[in-house]
Structure 1
Amino acid sequence: MKIIVPMAGIGSRLRPHTLTVPKPLTVIAGKSIVHRLVENIASVVKQPIEEIAFVIGPATKGFPSNTKDTLLKIASDLGAKGSVYVQEEALGTAHAIYCAKESLSGPCIVAYADTLFKADFTLDVNADGAIWVKQVEDPSAFGVVKLNEGVITDFVEKPKEFVSDLAIIGIYYFKDGDKLLTEIQYLIDNDLRENGEYQITNVLESLKQQGAKFVPGKVDAWMDCGKKDPTVDTNKQILVFEQEDGNNLVSNDVVLENSEIIQPCYVGKNVVLKNTTLGPYVSIGENSVVENSTIVNSLIQTNTQISDASLDMAMIGNHVKYNGKYTSVSIGDYTELI
């Protein structure tokens, strides 16, 4: 099994954090979004992952020079070959997959790195394909699928009238990666664009019309990482899941001086807490110092200094110094508010 991860978007809705770190590499509870994504997929597939191919944007779109090395290590940690491709121009969801054409063969999963999920279903690898879906209250804001006897019959984009409440979350299984590539190549060769871009939904429809049967893969939780508040909420949900699984995410070298950690929390290495209450639902990266503060429900990255703060629903980047009265803040890397 191969995993293709298009992640070339600049993540403009998560500014200022994505000015220095691509959104999929934003760390939540000690692991990047894309790392957690491929781990979750591997747990559902329940078979060896042969290769993970990442499609990133160019350096001019904010992708640091070490992005490739970071992604190759993620693949290696999962026992897979890593490949990194560059999408020089944003030409749509299908075009992003096409950029990894050298890796498109055999069974593969395509997972756009905008979301995380939790699921306990087992993927039916004998189906022609599968589409991960989540039941939602307001389907008008999503692309949805219609079912008939467990098989997907229609794809409907943002329906104005109710047709289904099963929203497509952006993760797909294809039994035949070569056939997927052929269909994308047909779109590109014939310049079949929708709103100026080559779309994966057109590929799905074409495969369905040729007789391919797609089945749904229903997930229990679908977590958004598009904006600051949903990302902080995703951090909270991940911490709850980790606690339910019996995982301790607090480093054993944390220094507590008249301080308390209220679980669930992630606390990285070499963190110092002085006169501070941390948690619940807080992630704080390594080499950070917090003094005279109360922090709940927040996501804080590495090498950060916080003092005299009361934080809730905050997202703070790497190498930040913050001393202030504001509660719900969003502060990017290398920022000082003192």
Structure 2
Amino acid sequence: MKGILLAGGNGTRLRPMTRIVNKHLLPVGKYPMIHYAIAKMAEAGIKDVLLITGKHSMGLYAEYVGSGACWGVRVAYLLQEEAGGIAQALGLAEPFVEADDKVLLLLGDNLYEDSLAEAVAAFKQREHGAHVFVKRVPDPERYGVAEVENGVITRIVEKPQEPHSDLAVTGMYLYDSNVFQIVRSLKPSARGELEITDVNNEYARLGQLTYSELRGWWTDAGTHRSLLDAGIRLLGEEEA
């Protein structure tokens, strides 16, 4: 299984800090944000990681992450020339993934407590499909929300005004290699991007989308408040 780590984006919600450096290099506790994402990949048993980012701070990524040896993984780098959505960035990784391989896609600004190792090991045994990780939240209208019937995700609705559940889809995904064919079939959304929700809904339509519910804490560290809260939490864990 290959790991794909997305660390691009403009970080508009974290300005003015992101005028200086990419948000995934901002400090969270003792380390830059990207440190935790690579550590979670390694913890899940991933050995080969492709880090995708934009032109902004590419050199700093290479300087801090290097070959990945610090985490016991091998890190390669890929430049995303311009933001085109999560699914578009995923599509760029196709040459990195062998035909019969599977991928763990991780958004670098997702910080979380749970280990993904068990879910990754189980997914390796599956022939095909996709798997998402959900978290119960008090404000699901801010996220992509999973609608579940009889233990099966029927569809994911992006930022619904009237959510049918409190299950937010987090930024960790498992896919078979068919995901690239699905990405190639997508059409841009109203905001001109290829949406990862459309990828997941295609797997749901095929009856191939499963999920796990995160039990520990999780945050999308994309705002000043969530970045601060994550740093305080992780600093406490590191000093415990």
Instruction: Give TM-score scaled by structure 1 length.
Output: 0.63
Q: Give a deviation string over 1:261-309, Cα, whole Å, max 9, x none.
A: xxxxxxxxxxxxxxxxxxxxxxxxxxxxxxxxxxxxxxxxxxxxxxxxx
1:37 aligns with 2:37: yes
Q: CA deviation at 1:116?
A: 0.4
Q: What's the counterpart of residue 102 of structure 2? A: 107
What aligned pairs does 1:144-155 form with structure 2 within 5 A after superposition? 144-155=145-156
Aligned-pair CA distance for 1:120: 4.9
Aligned to 1:71: 65
Q: Which has the higher contact order (CA 8 A, sep 6+)?
A: 2
What does 1:225-244 align with in structure 2 at a 5 Å threshold?
225-243=221-239
Q: 1:6-49 deviations in whole A, cap 9, x for unaligned?
A: 11112122122222221111122222211102213443x3x3x2
The letter for the 1-side match of 2:92 is C
Decide whether the 8 Å contact of 2:144 with 2:168 is kept in 1: yes
1:64 shift after superposition: 4.8
8 Å Cα contact 2:25-2:34 kept in structure 1: yes
| Match in the other structure for 1:311 | none
1:216-231 superposed matches below 5 A: 216-231=212-227
4+ residue stretches of structure 1 with deviation over 6 A? none
Paired position in structure 2 for 1:119: 114
1:129 and 2:130 correspond: yes
Distance 1:15 1:158 in 2: 23
Gaps of 5+ in 1: 247-338
Question: In 2, distance between residues paired with 1:69 and 1:149?
Answer: 48
Offset, 1:203: 1.4
1:318 aligns with none
Counterparts in 2 of 1:307-322, with a 5 A limit? none
Alignment of 1:154-169 (within 5 A): 154-169=155-170
Q: Secondary structure at the match of 1:34?
A: helix
Counterpart of 1:87 (choices 73, 80, 89) is 80
**Aligned residue for 1:309?**
none
How many residue pairs get aligned? The number is 231
Q: Secondary structure at the match of 2:59?
A: coil
Structure 2 equivalent of residue 97 of structure 1: 90
The residue aligned with 1:194 is 189
Alignment RMSD: 2.0
Indicate whether 1:206 and 2:205 are aligned: no
SS at match of 1:220: coil
1:215–1:223 Cα change, 3 Å = closer
User: Separation in 1 of the partners of 2:185 and 2:70?
Assistant: 35
Question: Residue in 2 aligned with 1:6?
Answer: 6
Cα distance change of structure 1 residues 30 and 161 upon mapping to structure 2, 3 Å threshold: same
State the partner residue of 2:19. Answer: 19
1:216-273 C-alpha deviation (Å, 9 max, x unpaired)? 2424111232122221111111122234xx4xxxxxxxxxxxxxxxxxxxxxxxxxxx
**What is the CA distance between 1:70 and its match in structure 2?**
2.7
Q: What is the CA–CA distance in structure 1 between the aligned matches of 2:139 and 2:223, rounded to whole Å? A: 19
Give the 3-state SS of the residue equivalent to 1:88 in structure 2.
Answer: coil
| Structure 2: distance between partners of 1:90 and 1:14 | 17
Partner of 1:54: 51
Letter in 1 for 2:65: L
Amino acid at match of 2:105: V
What do the CA deviations read for 1:40-87 (whole angstroms, capped 9, x no partner)? 3443x3x3x2211011112xxx325333343334x2222222111111
- Unaligned stretches of 5+ in structure 2? none
Q: Distance in 1 between matches of 2:131 and 2:41?
A: 13
Q: Is the 8 A contact 1:152 1:216 kept in 2?
A: no
Distance 1:36 1:2, change over 3 A: same
Return closer, same or farther for 1:78/1:184 CA change in 2, 3 Å cut-off.
Answer: same
- Corresponding letter in the other structure for 2:183: I
Between structures 1 and 2, the one with greater helix share: 2
Q: 1:154, 1:198 → 2: CA distance?
A: 17
